[in-house]
Structure 1
């Protein structure tokens, strides 16, 4: 094992590192039957709705066009369809669940991480999801669900050993999706003052750093989310990614946030952590 992998493993075992999962972890699951990247999701939406050129290839712009021209219910139905097939938890999901960290951030829309936590047994965990405020007539930014998928008051999260935080929502257990440009405009107008981030997430991050797995930072919105979730956390920070693919903006983001890049393929890192 390399020294950096030793440090990551020690941090996970001690609960000092919070996993931060991107769609690349979903893509690792055997036969993942869902769109497992922003490009895949944009292509899925584009096959079902004729999109203008400006919305093609961008899932957030595509979702906004569908919401504006076909209604929010159509967008929700298409997201339900995209993520209808359950993603089986991969070895990495199961391993992270077994560490029982205080916090796991999962930024994709599938339910594989929830399924892995369920497989581990015990009810000492729950999930908090970001929610769209489109048409719901509520001032809330997020909802909490226990291990059975039942919505519960937010204060119940204080007693959970592990919190699964899905800032963009997920298909399970309640079909919450932050996906359209308008959803993100609402969130990003207040994320600097942290309002859309649950208090319990802000509390737990103060004692930990983050391990980015399967993430890219090649979009300003993704960088903004990561920056605000990391705010006032203890560190250190690691990101497992392909160094050859990094854009200039990604490299600058890693430098600015003091995130140490780990240039080892994600499957190899998973195997090393399991060794």
Structure 2
């Protein structure tokens, strides 16, 4: 336990958080928060299932809804899912709140990971997409705990003097900004492959890291590509999953990225630590 905590605090071990960490989280009104692709699609579409083709992956469903109802609809619905009802901080984030990892990657779009660092100065990087002004697909903020405000800073100001929270798929705070539809992911991944989805400092800082994947589903191409781009240069890692058997593509990703698989519920794994 001490070794894991030390590695989290010095940044050699990086938590990589996915939507599955919400599996045991319900709102104060008893509503289950989305914890996988299917439940996120239902939440975006007012509880209604969509065609099998669209239900394959939430980015497809979001793209269909965006085409029919407009971009603002998707942005507002995503924000509504995470801000309209109160819910307790999921256990995964509670666990890391005491540790405050030096570097954390959170692919969820709510503000749970922000609460880990709410009492300390930190940097937050949020992903962005489909902007024409420049190639960069990120925005960098610095958090002031005295004012409780995030202020945007220049990419040259990012360093490892403070904890770094990276939210590549966007966030509800400090402004609504989400990578959620197919068009968002295509744009983000295209620029990621060109080197524009990560700040220059992170490109070097992320080399030779170990990763702890919690609540991440690698059964779909999109998220495997996202994780690959973000963790390029990794040394090894651990995937915590409840799946007894991984798909052929998941196994290939695991082997290619030198990951160890532990078949366990995320909460149970962290509580055992």
TM-score of the superposed pair, with normalisation by structure 1:
0.85
| 1:142 pairs with 2:141 | no
1:133 equivalenced with 2:134 (yes/no):
no
Q: What's the offset of the Cα at 1:27?
A: 2.9
The structure that is helix-richer by fraction is: 1
Structure 1: distance between partners of 2:60 and 2:92: 31
1:122 matches 2:123 = no
Shift of 1:253: 1.2
Contact 1:129 1:170 in 2 (8 A): yes
Q: 1:53 to 1:249 in 2, by over 3 A?
A: closer
State how far apart, in whole Å, the 1-side matches of 2:16 and 2:42 are.
25
Q: Is the Cα–Cα contact under 8 Å of residues 22 and 215 in structure 1 kept in the other structure? A: yes
Contact kept? 1:38, 1:59, Cα under 8 Å: yes
| Residues 9-35 of structure 1: CA deviation (Å, up to 9, x unaligned) | 453254310100011223344647532
Q: After superposition, give the CA deviation of every residue in 1:80-105 in whole Å (9 maximum; x if it has no partner).
A: 21222354323431332333332100
SS at match of 2:173: coil
CA distance in 1, matches of 2:191, 2:136: 13
| Count of aligned residue pairs for this structure pair | 264
| Partner in structure 1 of residue 146 of structure 2 | none
Matches of 1:160 and 1:28, distance apart in 2? 34
Which shows bigger deviation, 153-162 or 246-255?
153-162
CA distance in structure 2 between the aligned counterparts of 1:49 and 1:81, rounded to whole angstroms = 16
**Aligned residue runs from structure 1 range 205-216, under 5 A:** 205-216=206-217
- Could you tell me how far apart the structure 1 residues matched to 2:20 and 2:214 are? 7
| Match in the other structure for 2:262 | 262
Give how far 1:48 is off. Answer: 6.8
**Which residue in 2 is equivalent to 1:204?**
205
User: 3-state DSSP class of the match of 2:117?
Assistant: helix
Relative to structure 1, the CA distance from residue 190 to residue 141 in structure 2 (aligned partners, 3 Å threshold; closer, same or farther) is: closer
Aligned 8 A contact 2:8 2:102 in 1: no
Counterpart Cα distance in 2 of 1:149 and 1:100: 18
Change beyond 3 A, Cα 1:158–1:169: same
Aligned position for 2:53: 54
Q: Residues of 2 paired with 1:159 and 1:254: CA distance?
A: 28
Instruction: Name stretches of at least 5 consecutive residues in structure 2 with no aligned partner.
Output: 144-148
Residues 129 and 143 in structure 1, CA contact (< 8 A), matched pair in contact too: yes
- Counterparts of 2:6 and 2:161 in 1: how far apart (Å)? 22
Q: Partner of 1:23 in structure 2?
A: 19
Q: 1:175 to 1:215 in 2, by over 3 A?
A: same
Runs of 4+ in 1 over 6 A off after TM superposition: none
Distance change in 2, residues 1:29/1:9 (3 Å): farther
- The 5 Å alignment of 1:121-270 reads 121-123=119-121, 125-133=122-130, 137-147=133-143, 148-158=149-159, 160-233=161-234, 235-270=235-270
Q: CA deviation at 1:163?
A: 0.8
Task: Evaluate the alpha carbon distance shift between residue 212 and residue 47 of structure 1 in structure 2; reply closer, same or farther with a 3 A threshold.
Answer: same
Unmatched segments (≥5 aa) in structure 1: none
Change (3 A) 1:201 1:33: farther
Q: Indicate yes or no: 2:11 matched with 1:11.
A: no
Q: Is contact 1:42–1:57 with CA below 8 Å preserved after alignment?
A: no
Q: Is the Cα contact below 8 Å between 1:241 and 1:261 reproduced in 2? A: yes
Contact 2:192 2:229 in 1 (8 A): yes
